[in-house]
Structure 1
Amino acid sequence: MLSGLHPLPKLLVCLAWIAASIVVFDLGFQLMTIALSSAALIVLERRSPLFVLLVMVPFALFGFGFLTTSILFRQESDFAVRMAAEQAFSSPAVSAGLVLFARAVACGMVSAVFGLTTDPGALVKALMIHWRLPPQIGFALFAAIQLVPDLGREAQQIRLARAMREGRLPRRIPGPAEAASLVVPLLAYAIRRAGRSAMAMEARGLSRNAPRTFLSAPRIGRGDWIFVLAATALLASCLTLIG
């Protein structure tokens, strides 16, 4: 469901939730943001709960640094301590650390909702059409979007070729020495691709004022406005509950 929405309204909604998570220093609001983001991925996008937990792990590790700093080293700001004193925990350091931990996870999960439900190509097209992104930058982003998965496939082909030459099975995960040996051939491959992309962009005549058309360009529809209104109302409700 979320994957079919226009990227730009969804981006603005996610930025509004992230801004609210940064400004509102309240543990309850952060937990509500985490719960709603997880529910959006599980219910609307049919993602498994285990997948959502795995997505949450990097943000939790990042937030754990705030938690340990707040509890063990007591380096939180005066504002954090003053706001944490209003929480339900006896120690301001623990309260401030938990809020900072939950805020890191909340912002990360909102970002994950946008990243996992948005097609990068559609986002670039929308930026070029509605927000006047220069075509030079737009086509460079298109080239980068295509290059990243191609680098992974090229690395896998190099590893398979080396394993066949040495008469062994390829390792599931390359070791440090094997990963280091892939740097130079992958760099050469990326340089060749960049040269071809530059020639293709030059052939397209990417001048700033030239008229151009877009195939399969995303359009803002009624569902996008419904999503914006519903998400805004939900954000206002959460802010009201903690107020």
Structure 2
Amino acid sequence: MAPAGGDVLKSLNPLTKLAVCILWLAAAVLIFDPWFQCAVIVITGIVLIVLNRTSPLVILGLMVPFSLFGFGFLTTALLFRKESDFALRVAGETPFASAAFSASITLFLRAVSCGMISAFFALTTDPGAFVRALMVHCRLPPQIGYSLFTAMQLVPDLAAEAQQMRLARAMKLGRVPRRIPGPVEAFSLCVPLLAFAIRRAGRTAIAMEARGLAANAPRTVMNAPAFQERDFAFLSIAAASLTACIVAVMADRGLFPS
């Protein structure tokens, strides 16, 4: 049975999505055109909302850091006039008030479009499936693969351990713990959390050695994602959409011979 709704993108091979994201990221970086960047943002957003059922508020929240990063480009270019000659020359061909303003807007949109592509991969890809795909199809060493699995398990354990420490200290002091720890409390948690991580790392190393991960022997990776027909269909659609956007930009600039 074919996957439906939000399972469509998650059922794809992570390496297929990685190849598509790298291709679109390269185009977003190399093509200095505001309309192309807007097309990337709109297409990626529609795919996430329609196929992955991602809330628009989640997408907007994830774009805040990238928007701030792009806003730095915007203010630097407008206030300090630090645009490159290439940016000004290309931006002069776009229908904005001035070349400087057009270059600034394009830099801002490029940061957001790169963020949208990165969010697409992060929201639609299971980290465990991605590591297993790298181990099977890209020959990622098992030592590195299982180390990544351990790190993925350690991060939530660290958060739970920190919460337990905060609750224990609050009970000892007879007060309600704050929702967000202050600077002093956060600094005081560094040493015990570091000790917890070191103990976990030691136990993990012993467990990996006991399972023979130091030996160069063939291994079986369970639940490794395989390439299917839907992967090639997705790759073809993504490549065709990117080609259509590039052709539209070239036609808008009059780069095709009459």
The residue aligned with 1:219 is 226
Q: How many residues align?
A: 243
Residue in structure 2 matched with residue 229 of structure 1 by the alignment: 236
Give the unaligned 5+ runs of structure 1.
none
Q: 2 CA distance for matches of 1:58 and 1:3?
A: 25
Contact kept, 8 Å, 1:127 with 1:133, in 2: the verdict is yes
Deviations 1:45-94 (A, max 9, x none): 11111111111111000000111111111111111111111011131111
Give the C-alpha shift of residue 207 in structure 1.
3.6
The correspondence for 1:132, drawn from 122, 126, 139, is 139
Q: Which runs of 5+ in 2 are unaligned?
A: 1-7, 251-258
Q: TM-score, normalised by structure 2?
A: 0.92
- The corresponding residue for 1:4 is 11
1:166 corresponds to 2:173: yes
Counterpart of 2:254 in structure 1 is none
Question: What are the Cα deviations for residues 197-235 of structure 1, in whole angstroms up to 9, with x where unaligned?
Answer: 111111121246301111111111111111111111111
Equivalent residue in structure 2 for 1:205, among 208, 212, 215: 212
Report what 2:51 is aligned to: 44
Q: TM-score, normalised by structure 1?
A: 0.97
SS in 2 for 1:76: coil
Distance 1:232 1:29 in 2: 15
Find runs of 4+ consecutive structure 1 residues off by over 6 angstroms: none
Distance 2:189 2:47 in 1: 39
1:29 to 31, 36, 43: 36
CA shift for structure 1 position 150: 1.0
Which of 186, 191, 197 is matched with 2:198 structurally?
191
Of the structure 1 ranges 7-16 and 217-226, higher mean CA displacement relative to structure 2 is found in: 217-226
What amino acid does structure 2 have at the position aligned with 1:111?
S
TM alignment of 1:144-163, pairs within 5 A: 144-163=151-170
Deviation string 1:23-63 (CA, Å, 9 cap, x unpaired) is 00000000011111111221111111111111111100000
* Partner SS, residue 165 of structure 2: helix
**Among residues 115, 118, 121, which one is paired with 2:122 in the alignment?**
115
* Bigger mean CA offset, 54-63 vs 38-47: 38-47
What percent of counterpart residues are identical? 61
* Conserved 8 A contact 1:135-1:208: no
CA contact (8 A) 1:59 1:108 kept: yes
What is the CA deviation profile of residues 4-26 of structure 1, one whole-angstrom value per residue up to 9, with x for unaligned ones? 21100100000000000000000
| Whole-angstrom CA distance in 2 between matches of 1:164 and 1:9 | 50
2-side partners of 1:29 and 1:57: how far apart? 21
C-alpha distance in 2, partners of 1:208/1:98?
Answer: 54
Q: Distance in 1 between matches of 2:137 and 2:156?
A: 27
Q: Distance in 2 between matches of 1:231 and 1:112?
A: 16
1:13 and 1:228 in contact (8 A); partners too: yes
- Aligned counterpart, 1:90: 97
2:54 counterpart SS class: coil
Q: Which amino acid aligns with 1:11?
A: L
| TM-align CA RMSD | 1.0
The amino acid that maps onto 1:143 is T
Find the aligned partners of 2:214 and 2:20 in 1 and give their Cα distance. Answer: 33
Q: Whole-Å Cα distance in 1 between the matches of residues 229 and 167 of structure 2?
A: 49
